[in-house]
Structure 1
Amino acid sequence: MTVQVNITPNGRMSLPADMRKRLGLTHGGAVFLEETDNGVILRTAAQAVARAQAIAKRFAGKPEASVDSFIAERGKESGE
C-alpha cells in the first residue's frame, strides 16, 4: 500500500489512522526510518527487532562470525 504523507515545515508527519491501527501504533510509539539507495523504509519497533533477530539467526552457530573471531582477525591484520 502506498499513501502520500505530507511533512510540515517543522518536519512532522502523520500516518493515516487506519495504517497506525494496522501497525499497532494507535497509542503512539516508535518507528525507525532506514534510508536506502531505493528510498526510505519505515518500520515499527517490533518489525525492527524481528529483522535484527532474523539477521542474527543467519550467523548463529558459525564460529567464524563471532565477535571474538572478528576482533582476532582485525588484530592479525593490524599486526598486533
Structure 2
Amino acid sequence: MTLQINITPNGRMSLPADVRKRLGLTGGGAVYLDETEDGVVLRTADQAVARAQALARRYTGDNPDASVDAFLARRREDSGE
C-alpha cells in the first residue's frame, strides 16, 4: 500500500485513521522510523521488537545459554555472588 501523507509547515505528518486503527496505534503512541537506501520504513513498537528478536536469533539460534538471564547468571557466578 502506498499513501501520500502531507507534511505541515511545522513538519508534522498525520497517519490516516484507518491505518492507525489497523496497526493498533493510539494517541500518544510511538512508531519507529528506519531510514533505508530506498527511503523510510515506519514500524510499530511490536514490529520493531519482533525485528530485533529475529535479528538476535540469527546470531544465537535456539541456544538457551544466549539469553540475558543466562548471561547474568554466569556473571554472578564469575563474581562470586
TM-score, normalisation: structure 2: 0.70
Letter in 1 for 2:21: K
The answer to whether residue 43 in structure 2 is matched with residue 43 in structure 1 is yes
Report the residue type matching 2:35 in the other structure. Answer: E
Q: Which amino acid aligns with 1:31?
A: V
In structure 2, C-alpha distance between the alignment counterparts of 1:44 and 1:11, rounded to whole Å = 20
3-state DSSP class of the match of 1:10?
Answer: coil
Long gaps (5+) in structure 2 = 64-81
1:48-63 alignment, distance < 5 Å: 48-61=48-61
Q: Which amino acid aligns with 1:50?
A: A
1:22 match? 22
Structure 1 vs Structure 2 CA RMSD: 1.4
Q: Equivalent residue for 1:69?
A: none
Figure out how many residues of one structure are paired with residues of the other and give that number: 62
Q: Deviations over 1:13-58 (max 9, x none)?
A: 0000000001101334100111111010000111001000000011
State the SS of the aligned residue for 2:50: helix
Q: Give ranges in structure 1 of 5+ residues lacking alignment.
A: 63-80
Distance in structure 1 (CA, Å) of the matches to 2:26 and 2:16: 10
